[in-house]
Structure 1
Amino acid sequence: MRYLIITAVFTLLAYFPWAYAQDAPAENTTARQSVNPASANAQREGVDKGELYVVGRNEGKNKEDFVFRMGERIHIKATGDVAGRLKTELEKTGASRSPILLFDGIKMANLPSAISQLDNGNMLRFSFYLERNPALKESREAWDMLFKSKDEYVMPIEVGIAVGSELPLVVQSAYPFFFYLAPASEILATVSGALLILFVAYYLIVNKTNMLKDQDTGYYSLGKSQMAFWGLMVVLAFVGIWILTGTMEYIPQQVLILLGISGATGLSAVLIGNSKKSGTEDEMTRIRAEEQNLKELKEKNPAGFSTDNENQLTVLSQKITELSHQLGNQARRTRPRGFWREICDDGNGVSFHRLQVVIWTLVLGMVFVGYVADGMSIPEFPETLLILMGISNLTYLGFKIPEKS
């Protein structure tokens, strides 16, 4: 388990720099950019004349009023000529009446929106509810693209809006506009807590239960160990994202295939083990029957019992001893070799086909954790990686057939 602990330490250390570089959202915006009050007033006057601007909370008097998070509603006002152009687009026959919000040029698809007219129709107010809908591919991809393009969780954003042919229009803001998913401390606590639960749970499963051991050999099963690893990873990722975003995260088809590969590998390994045991027992029964027939023949006619028959009886006795040794391995294994050694050992020492499965599982596991922590979504692995994982597991199962019991 020391390798798992070392991996956990390095993973946590990778997240500490960005976590401590980001304090509370308000502090972050203060540290990033100080605004001269005079220039802010001039900018606010320019916004009033600029005809398209973000409406901050509490009348937008402070920088913190322009820091928004997931689950909040953002309002954008359009006045003057811009309002007229947008209104014309909205009233066109056959035109889409749904405005589109843009963050850094990325269309944030499928956001719930509303449009209201103010000042006798001379002013328009667009309202967007900031949410990520994991059930819709366009919404997932838009948010994933935005999160992956940023190195921090409190993100400076350039806001835009599009309606029909009027796209994109840059939306001004009296103060720099920031968006964040959750406070950095909350994200750090959730990621760290999930990793801690993963390692503790896996450690307890390995050391306090027999769930990952082959019933016949008493050794740890590589197939079962891989299945438990991915099962815990997906469950913790799902729960962690739900805690941070309040949404039921979409589990991609590729991850389901990965779970299927690990589950099928564990099941196949058990079936191969049972088949080998059954075959050994059947062979033992057959050889004992032959031995018994020869012994009866020797008792009935000792003088006619040839040298060849005697040699055959000796060979059968030796074979029975070997098979008994194989079937009794579990009872004699009083000195465990350790978890890592047992999942990588094929009976003749550490084997490459087993080690390859372990390495790829750990590599994809680290990629999985990094993607979830960075993008707040469960990754969609490329098909080539899944094929590679499938080939590695099939190779392991193929070499398991002739392995020693």
Structure 2
Amino acid sequence: MHTPDSRSPPPTDPDERARAYRQHCIAALLRGLAVLVAMLLSLLLALFAPAPAAHAAEAPPRVVALHGHLELDYTLTVQVDQLAQWAMEGDPRQLVPFIDGRAITGNTPEAIDLVHGRLMFHLRISDDNRAVWTDLLGAPEGLRRPVTFSVGPADGAPFDTALTGGQRVQLTVISPVYGGIALALVVVTLAVFVQLARTTSIIRKPGPGATQPYDLGRFQMAVWFFLIYLSYTAIWLVTDATDTIHPSLLALLGISAGTALSEAVIDAGAAPAQDAREGGLLAEREQLVPQLGARSRWQDADADVDARTRQQAARQRVAQIDQQLRTLHAQAPEAISQGLLHDLLSDAQGYRFDRFQIFAFTLILGVIFLSDVYNNLSMPELSPTLLGLMGLSSGTYIGFKLPDRR
């Protein structure tokens, strides 16, 4: 039996063959356009489709929380999102805190927890970050101040942080507990000193009672003692540093102490000379008094002319001694304070420029001293020239006292 072919035999007519060829070309073109449109649609979908959320490795690390007390010599823990992913390419051991955008170099993490994204820091002052801490803690306006906080590489930019703007953290400048205790001690010390200065001779010239004039040398020594005492306490409260007194300050204290000591020696040397002269006159007067006798005995009896002459000479000498004693007492009146400023700037001859000079230098250097401590959190280191100026001023003051006492 004959089985017919499933494929149609090729047309023999030329027109039919041309028509079939055109249909074949059109179908091929349509299939190519369909493929091209599909490729374009796939490309557009790929371009405009949102990035997959699961690709977390491209998300940057971000500081989200801080646990602990932001203060020098305290430990705090920082929570950082995406820390483990960042650690795949970066070194978390080189991260440091950033406070107000400033890197606290030298304070690398003491503990790292990549699983929970936590870093633990112990804040300390070192030679590398002392300038940064001085800017952050210097010129304090209160016990605390708000700051932004983040972490990041020491030689790079800080991580993004949530602790900024309205979420800033409080940096403790002075501990309220230790600050309160230190303030109470300083106030008590100053109050006791002021009371002693008013009622005793702690900064007055030696003498009985509490009415002696104030002494310039002792006053200068007291000023420098309290300036260093207050500055040392303040620097310790802010920076926790205890070795802050420079050798130049010891020299300054030595100059002020030497001035007070030299003045005391001169004053002590002048008083015995006057006392010895007065004692000699009194002793001579006591020897002459028995020779005077009673005036009536020489008037009623026939006395020897020589005895009468000796008695008259004794009377005249006693009168001279009494006059000399009155003169000595007039030259050395009782010393009574005329007020702090008057006592410091004047003596028995009136106001003196050498006293004014040492008083003015003490005040202006005291202001500069406190300003340096307040802004830089360190004791100023005085130059040899400045110490020489203070020594020259004190030496001039002591030199003017010597001829006065003679």
1:209–1:174 Cα change, 3 Å: same
SS at the partner of 1:50?
Answer: coil
Q: Compared with structure 1, are the counterparts of its residues 245 and 148 closer, same or farther at alpha carbon in structure 2 (3 Å cutoff)?
A: closer
Q: Give the CA deviation at 1:115.
A: 4.0
Residue 221 of structure 1 corresponds to which residue in structure 2? Answer: 215
Q: Map 1:250-329 to 2 at 5 A.
A: 250-253=243-246, 254-277=248-271, 324=328, 329=332
2:134 matched residue in structure 1: 144
1:116 aligns with 2:105: no
Query: How far 1:341 sits from its partner (Å)?
Result: 1.1
For the 8 Å contact 1:222–1:343, the answer to whether it is kept is yes
Corresponding letter in the other structure for 1:75: V
SS at match of 2:250: helix
What does residue 380 of structure 1 align with? 380
Q: Check the 8 A contact 1:104/1:160 in 2, yes or no.
A: no
2:60 corresponds to: 50
Q: Give, in angstroms, the shift of residue 174 of structure 1.
A: 0.8
Secondary structure at 2:134 match in 1: helix
Q: Summarize the Cα distance change of 1:354–1:85 in structure 2 as closer, same or farther, 3 Å threshold.
A: same
Are 2:96 and 2:108, in contact at CA under 8 Å, matched by a contact in 1?
no
Give the Å deviation of 1:161: 4.3
> Which of 191, 198, 210 in structure 2 is aligned with 1:207?
198
Supply the distance in 2 between the matched residues of 1:190 and 1:140 (Cα, whole angstroms): 26
Q: How many residues align?
A: 306
Residue identity over aligned pairs, in percent, reads: 20
Q: Report if the CA contact (8 A) 2:77-2:118 is conserved.
A: no
Q: Which residue of 1 aligns with 2:355?
A: 354
How far apart are 1:154 and its partner, in Å? 0.6
* RMSD of aligned alpha carbons: 4.9
TM-score by length of 2: 0.57
Query: d(CA) in 1 for partners of 2:370 and 2:182?
Result: 9
CA, structure 1 residues 118+335, in 2 after alignment: closer, same or farther (shift >3 Å)?
closer
Q: Rate the CA distance shift 1:279–1:172 in 2: closer, same or farther, 3 A.
A: farther
**1:159, CA displacement in angstroms?**
4.7
* Change over 3 Å in CA distance of 1:207–1:238 after alignment to 2: same
Q: Given that residues 249 and 382 in structure 2 are in contact (C-alpha distance below 8 angstroms), is that contact kept between their aligned partners in structure 1?
A: no
Tell me if 1:130 matches 2:132.
no
- Show the 5 A alignment for 1:234-245: 234-240=228-234, 242=236, 244-245=237-238
Query: What are the ranges of 5 or more consecutive residues in structure 1 without an aligned counterpart?
Result: 1-45, 59-64, 91-97, 292-312
In the alignment, structure 1 residue 84 sits paired with structure 2 residue 89: yes
Q: CA deviation at 1:184?
A: 10
In 1, distance between residues paired with 2:139 and 2:239? 22
**Structure 1 residue 128: deviation in Å?**
2.0
Query: Are the equivalent residues in 1 in contact too, given 2:98–2:104 (CA < 8 A)?
Result: yes
> Does the Cα contact within 8 Å between 2:139 and 2:374 map onto a contact in 1?
no
Q: What is the rounded CA distance, in whole Å, between the counterparts of 1:116 and 1:154 in structure 2?
A: 28
SS at match of 1:57: strand
Measure how far apart 1:55 and its partner are. 5.0
Give the one of 74, 78, 103 matched to 1:75. Answer: 78
Contact 1:113–1:126 (8 Å) recurs in 2: yes
Higher normalized contact order (CA 8 Å, seq sep 6+, divided by chain length): 1
Question: How far does residue 340 in structure 1 lie from its aligned partner after superposition?
Answer: 1.7
Whole-angstrom distance in 2 between the partners of 1:226 and 1:352: 16
Native 8 Å contact 2:96 2:104 kept in 1: yes
Say which SS state the counterpart of residue 160 (structure 2) adopts: coil
Correspondence for 1:173 among 146, 154, 161: 161
SS in 1 for 2:362: helix
Q: Distance in 1 between matches of 2:274 and 2:402?
A: 13
Residues 72, 114 of structure 1: alpha-carbon distance in 2 compared, 3 angstrom cutoff: closer
CA contact (8 A) 1:69 1:130 kept: yes
Letter aligned with residue 204 of structure 1:
Q
CA distance in 2, matches of 1:159, 1:403: 69
Q: CA deviation at 1:390?
A: 3.4
